[in-house]
Structure 1
């Protein structure tokens, strides 16, 4: 981790035994969660400068991770077709979410809610209830592997991108696509909203 604007290294850590795929800051900014090709999720404490918890349970590489806004739960998405919700206090997996038919490529908590968004190589996006680990809605429309998806600030719109460079905007309430944009021919690997909801 680097400081800005001087670029000095603040913290370094070793522990994962394969490539890193994602990271997410704890809401308080005191910790970091990372995901890796080594099938694990790790929690890092900045004050100690080291990994304080390794979460094991996925059968394949973990593609992404997300911290709940309360700071007590982490969600992870894996190539093993599942997502998991981890309870950091008990250091255990609370739920394994099954339903996608292929690799789960991204995962994100809607801020200040119990809703989780996943997208998958099975060409779908899903909304999950984190309190029960159950799928609430599935979005169909991509023709290729969906690589990433995220909410806007209000949580009423989702944007997603796929391996052919197609981006889609989705209406969360209607569970339907609003706009499709072909930004190809290269893959779309990540999408984001700015604070004014521009993609």
Structure 2
């Protein structure tokens, strides 16, 4: 059972949340063109970064925790240094809005996904695009690296997921609506994905086949997240709720908060779940004792 505790911090509408790899710090990005870091769980703002000229779609910490990457509707990807409190690199190459970004576990590469139908792998040391991943027939809505591997996972408006390994691609078909997000579990053996009709699917990473489909619609599902145990999957719903699937019992619980579109969810440690959305409010959900 999860109980809601509001962090009562007012932001503009939020599109993504990220957690610092070692500290109790949360990173957010939204339509005010700013990224912000704040302490967890007190909610005090620590840093604010400005420089993008359009909404922030994605954000992610470097594995070392010293830098972060952001993606934006202004078609750019930016690298920020926390000690310098400023942008140190702007990556240009997408022709349309960038929908998401991710940092590789080695710290040398970032990935971006764009509405131009491509994804890009950027070398942050040479400051150049290393690979452009083409093959989706619609907007690429999310991208994520499988930790400690050369595999990247993308979701697309063309209703498919793709697994990329530089020169090869494996396509996962099964959704009948635009795929909004996809992610790996901690073990890297299962994928969760969600689409614009509210359907969430789990996939066997080795067999590349669906193993479970849950209709959490009819409202769009915007993002999914695994608990680090792998036993829970949270879904951000445009219905204005967070839905949590317990894999052990096959039960879907509904967490009702402010009642506005929820755009992102993240599990923090063992007992906390963070959600945020269209009203800019960040909700903290804790396990009932």
Q: TM-score, normalised by structure 1?
A: 0.96
Residue of structure 2 aligned with 1:124, choices 144, 148, 160? 160
User: How large is the Cα RMSD of the aligned pairs?
Assistant: 0.9
Aligned length: 196
Q: Which has the larger radius of gyration?
A: 2
Determine the structure 2 residue equivalent to 1:67. 103
For 1:33 and 1:96, locate their aligned partners in 2 and report how far apart those are by CA, in whole Å. Answer: 18
For 1:119 and 1:135, locate their aligned partners in 2 and report how far apart those are by CA, in whole Å. Answer: 16
Determine the structure 2 residue equivalent to 1:145. 178
Q: In the superposition, relative to structure 1, how do residues 190 and 30 fare at CA in structure 2: closer, same or farther (>3 Å)?
A: same
Determine the structure 1 residue equivalent to 2:244. none
Structure 1 position 63, deviation (Å): 0.3
Determine the structure 1 residue equivalent to 2:128. 92
The reply to whether residue 187 of structure 1 matches residue 220 of structure 2 is yes
Determine the structure 2 residue equivalent to 1:11. 47
Post-superposition Cα deviations, 1:17-62, rounded to whole Å, max 9, x if no partner, equal: 0000000000010001000000000001000000000000000000
Question: More strand per residue: 1 or 2?
Answer: 2
Q: TM-score, normalised by structure 2?
A: 0.67
Determine the structure 2 residue equivalent to 1:177. 210
Q: How does 1:25-36 map to 2 (within 5 A)?
A: 25-36=61-72
For 2:96 and 2:103, locate their aligned partners in 1 and report how far apart those are by CA, in whole Å. Answer: 20
The reply to whether residue 56 of structure 1 matches residue 92 of structure 2 is yes
For 1:7 and 1:140, locate their aligned partners in 2 and report how far apart those are by CA, in whole Å. Answer: 40
For 1:185 and 1:90, locate their aligned partners in 2 and report how far apart those are by CA, in whole Å. Answer: 45
For 1:134 and 1:63, locate their aligned partners in 2 and report how far apart those are by CA, in whole Å. Answer: 23
Q: How does 1:101-112 map to 2 (within 5 A)?
A: 101-112=137-148
Residues 126 and 139 of structure 1 are in contact (CA less than 8 Å); yes or no, is this contact kept in structure 2? Answer: yes
The reply to whether residue 158 of structure 1 matches residue 191 of structure 2 is yes
For 1:5 and 1:67, locate their aligned partners in 2 and report how far apart those are by CA, in whole Å. Answer: 24
For 1:101 and 1:37, locate their aligned partners in 2 and report how far apart those are by CA, in whole Å. Answer: 19
Post-superposition Cα deviations, 1:46-87, rounded to whole Å, max 9, x if no partner, equal: 000000000000000000000000100000000000000000
The runs of 5 or more residues in structure 2 that have no matched partner are 1-36, 234-289
Post-superposition Cα deviations, 1:104-134, rounded to whole Å, max 9, x if no partner, equal: 00000011111100010000000011xxx33
